[in-house]
Amino acid sequence: MYEFLQETVANNMTKSVRSVAPEMTVGDLYRLFAQEDYDAYPVLRDDAVVGFVTKLDALKVFTCTTDHILPHYDDRMGTTVDEIMSSDVISVEPDTNLQRVLQLMVTHRLKSLPVIDKYHHLLGIIAREDVMRALARCTKRQTPPLVPCETVRCLRLV
């Protein structure tokens, strides 16, 4: 487990990341979610991360409220990402250790985190799967080999 404590985001993140613009409509966002196997997208304005939009954010547009018993489908599909994104983005930097990432993911129930530099430029994304792969890799290297059954002696406790 000690080896995992040394792992950083830079060595485990996905560097080629799709992002969306705040002006994108929910309709276009739905099509993007249908085409690609992502649960969320960073939202960029002028190359800086200004938000994060998830599938859940896109679904919330169609929930019934006291104002609208039946949401108007066409109107809601025209809603922009800027209106539904979370602008309080929890992000990490490349030198963040994976233990901290794991803590943030568990505490805030996050599936992924954008990786940014000091200017809020998007460098990549770190997802749960990336952390799990690193854990498995580190654990595998530190697990002692199994001893064959025929070399193990049984002791009788009295």
Nearest to 7 by CA among 143, 136, 145: 136
Beta partners for residue 113, in sequence order = 126
Tens digits of residue pLDDT in 112-146 = 999 999 999 999 999 999 999 999 999 876 555 55
**pTM for this predicted structure:** 0.78
**46 within 8 A of 21, measured Cβ to Cβ:** no
| CATH number for the segment(s) 2-151 | 3.10.580.10
Query: What's the rounded Cα separation, in Å, for the pair 89 and 140?
Result: 33
Tens digits of residue pLDDT in 62-77 = 777 666 555 567 777 8
DSSP string, 126-144: EEHHHHHHHHHHHHHHHSP
